[in-house]
Structure 1
Amino acid sequence: MTNCSTRVLDARLLFSIIAAGIMSFSGVVVETAMNVTFPTLMHEFNIGTSLVQWITTGYLLVLALIIPTSAYLKRRFSTRSLFTTAISSFLAGTLLAAWSPYFNVLLIGRLLQGIGTGIALPMMFNIILEQVPGERLGFMIGIASLITAMAPAVGPSLGGMIVSYFGWRMIFVSLLPFLLLSAILGIKNIRQAGNLEQTSFNFGLYLLLIIGFSSLIFATSIASDFGWFSIEVLALFAICLIALTAFYKQSLNSNAPLLRVEIFRYLPYTLSTASLLLVGFICLGLGFLIPNYAQLVSHTDAFTAGCLLLPGCIIGAMLAPISGRLLDKFGAKRPILLGNASILVSVICYSLYPSELSSLLFIVFYLFFAFGQGFSMGTIMTNGLSQLPEELNADGNAAMNTLLQLAGAVGTAVISTIVATAQAADPANIAHATMLGSRHGFYVLTISAVLILCCSLKVFALIKKKQLAHA
């Protein structure tokens, strides 16, 4: 084991970050690429909107269940062994999904990919938090955000092009060279920072987490079939609330918690996490709405539908490291509030446009969202984690990444449910029904954007109050 007591930004550290980043990148690429394939998969496997969305929702649910264990896994197992497990699972899932003759087999492949990404995503940020020199921390988190933020730029257009010319299975085949490169870089360069602990795994707490997260996702997914206020949906929400409340209370009293939930006693961190989750909710909601609207309402092909997100995603990805530099130089307030305002403008434009949205309008409105996302996500994460004591950073990082994936899963499930409900009400005119359902979805995203801005303003008010108290 190499002890990284001295923080040095050398080639091995960069290659380690890139190795974990490629896996995270690949996971998000497939996630966003598969959104474009939904109409194709629905036709090939003869399934509906509420079932096909599990390709994304199921993957994100697995991420949300794996990432909470990252703080425990980091303390218990070496970083290299965790990386090896992650890349093996991801490769197995990719090969299975590429071969899958049935929808269920495809779904299992996606779940295996979720296990790999669930280990790799927090690993990338933990490597940065533990090993990067403090004066370069904001910049490197921006770079890490760039690695994963580039994936939505590549995913929809790549998925659309591959579906149009080669078939959806080639989406998975095209990942294999990148995954092999990740395996080589990671196994050769990843090193251990800090000592390992022989701690036990609390299966009781983990079971509560599984019950809570799964109940939430299933509740939002079946709402289109049973109704939001049906006994089935309300019962699942109640189970979710009971399980997560029990998880929180037992974690506070546990000697071996999966997650040190006292991080949520730091209100600026908690509000920053809420802002981050709402950005993720909007991101996945738009990622579902735009390609499906373009294909089902505007009747564009899959490649064109995927390319609608490309200009905005490229700009958003390029802004991620810039926002990190602004954070290091000027602080978090300016980039975060600028980003929040831009996101709000974007979803308001989508919501208020009175008639059918054209491809050009989709691109222009999404540019505003991507600009806001590029300035917001990495900066919100860095600012939120900086409000915690250093010994809680790993838990804070795990919680943020866990809940971000859960927010994405809920975003996809909620928005797809809203659209599916509208489609079920007017099955004879699927294009018009999809347009109405999408507009209702945009209203939900607008409310979310308002909440993001409110949370951010409260965070900076609390930080200012704390600074004045210590002056």
Structure 2
Amino acid sequence: MSFCGVIVETAMNITFPTLMKEFSVGTDGVQWMTTLYLLVVASITPLSAELKRRFTNRTLFLWANLLFLSGVLIDGLAGHFWLLLLGRAVQGLGTSIALPLMFNIILDEVPARRIGTMMGVGTLITAIGPAVGPTFGGLVSTTIGWRFIFVFLVPVLLTSLILGLACIRATPPSSQDAGLNPLDVLLIILAFSGLIFAISNASAGALPWRFTGSLLVGFAALAWFIRRATHQNQPVIDVRLFKGKSFSLHVCAYILYEVCALALSFVLPNYIQLVNGRNALQAGLIVLPGAAIGAILAPVSGRIYDQLGARLPILSGSLISLIGLVGFALSGRRLPDGLIIIFYICFMLGIGLSFGNIMTNGLRQLTQGEQADGNAIFNTVQQFAAALGSSTAATLVAAGQVAETSRRLGTIDGSCHTFILLVVLGIAESALAFMLTARRRSASQ
């Protein structure tokens, strides 16, 4: 089910030019197909620790699967763009339950000596989606139409439902008295929605009050939520974990990595189609090698973590990814398909080595009782950072298109600005990787 959640996200990215033409929406509008989905996931995932305390794993899985299946059916039959967005939101509800549930099961049942490897397997499951999603989406949309992307997921989700009901144990909840405060849920939704909506409205031509107002709402809601959480005995998500400097460094590095990854997943398919003149299938095939390498390396790097510690995979992966980003920035105005393949392989090679291990090592800084909340934090910031990355990239590309006389030249300008920003973020992530592995070298080994 987690695989379906990621593959449908990346498969739809490749169809954006087709959706723009069919539903008469612009670049900054069509990106809400991804951004809304990620916003829903980011808004609901913080509740995962509370849901784990209140419901059995089996119950959570059942609801997640049925919600996701409903969203897929809505999108497959949608005749208007707003229905597509509704379906994406319902899918986000299912994924927001499924992703943290998968990692919670790993944290609960896997021995400590194998935790890196199995967390790598969990990362592999979510990384397979970006590996095959663009190719799958491009092949389906080019040959029989984009709607069949959703049609083909139906039997996969039904199989997932049967396997999950047969295999997932109905472990008792840790607290029957746990409850969800409606105000906390509302504040989480307002915080993430406000911040991402502000970014999406920062493109050229947007009304200033939309950006400023959304930003203020987002920060105000986030500050209010944090204030409430620090004074509650059992908060929805324990933000007091951020008092630990090492844990906070891991979360920051994780956020920067995810922003870079999702920004590239938006920019590259559009660049390949709108600048290099390829179709959706060709765009998917071009990004396939890099995405596949990143996915395959996830469990391998987890095993390296178990045997050699955190420093080697995290630091080397961060530096390799940075090299790929620098390559994109230096060649952005003239970026043929061959260079895209090379630079993306380099970037995803680094992702495969370090991304999952940053989460694993970050959770190692917590006690067993804190790990459910830590897992909720990592899954939340991952989705929020993903929404931020795709929104930022869409904003920069849209701004470039508005400023130029042709969509092709505008896409080049916007992509170049995005690549430069990602290099800055990549440098910051590499610095954090050095700091966190240097601080915790003995503990992680």
Pairing 1:456–2:405 present: no
Alignment of 1:160-199 (within 5 A): 160-193=138-171, 195-197=173-175, 198-199=177-178
Q: Partner residue of 1:140? A: 118
Name the aligned partner's letter for residue 264 of structure 1: F
TM-score by length of 1: 0.92
SS at match of 1:357: coil
Measure how far apart 1:235 and its partner are: 2.8
Q: Partner residue of 2:201? A: 222
Runs in 1 of length 4+ with deviation above 4 angstroms?
225-228, 464-467
Measure how far apart 1:405 and its partner are: 0.3
Pairing 1:127–2:118 present: no
SS at match of 2:96: helix
CA distance in 2 between counterparts of 1:357 and 1:377 reads: 26
Measure how far apart 1:236 and its partner are: 2.0
Name the aligned partner's letter for residue 433 of structure 1: G
State whether residues 200 and 256 of structure 1, in contact with CA within 8 Å, keep that contact through their aligned partners in structure 2.
no
Name the aligned partner's letter for residue 330 of structure 1: L
Q: Partner residue of 1:338? A: 316
Q: Partner residue of 1:79? A: 57
Pairing 1:52–2:30 present: yes
Q: Partner residue of 2:410? A: 433
Pairing 1:442–2:419 present: yes
Q: Partner residue of 1:210? A: 189
Measure how far apart 1:176 and its partner are: 1.3
CA distance in 2 between counterparts of 1:285 and 1:183 reads: 32
SS at match of 2:203: helix
Alignment partner of 1:401 out of 375, 379, 401? 379
Alignment of 1:154-303 (within 5 A): 154-193=132-171, 195-197=173-175, 198-226=177-205, 230-303=208-281
Q: Partner residue of 1:24? A: 2
CA distance in 1 between counterparts of 2:173 and 2:141 reads: 47
CA distance in 1 between counterparts of 2:311 and 2:220 reads: 36
Count, aligned residues: 443
Name the aligned partner's letter for residue 315 of structure 1: I
Name the aligned partner's letter for residue 440 of structure 1: H
Measure how far apart 1:196 and its partner are: 3.2
CA distance in 2 between counterparts of 1:209 and 1:396 reads: 17
Structure 1 segments unaligned to the other structure (5+ residues) = 1-22
Give the root-mean-square deviation of aligned CA atoms: 1.4
Q: Partner residue of 1:4? A: none
Name the aligned partner's letter for residue 223 of structure 1: A
Identify which range, 102-111 or 119-128, moves more after superposition.
Answer: 102-111
Sequence identity (%)? 44
CA deviation string 1:170-228 (max 9, x = no partner): 00011112111110111111014454312121111221111111100100111114559
State whether residues 202 and 257 of structure 1, in contact with CA within 8 Å, keep that contact through their aligned partners in structure 2.
no
Measure how far apart 1:283 and its partner are: 0.8
Q: Partner residue of 1:390? A: 368
Identify which range, 397-406 or 230-239, moves more after superposition.
Answer: 230-239
TM-score by length of 2: 0.97
Measure how far apart 1:232 and its partner are: 3.1
CA distance in 2 between counterparts of 1:455 and 1:242 reads: 27
Identify which range, 173-182 or 322-331, moves more after superposition.
Answer: 173-182
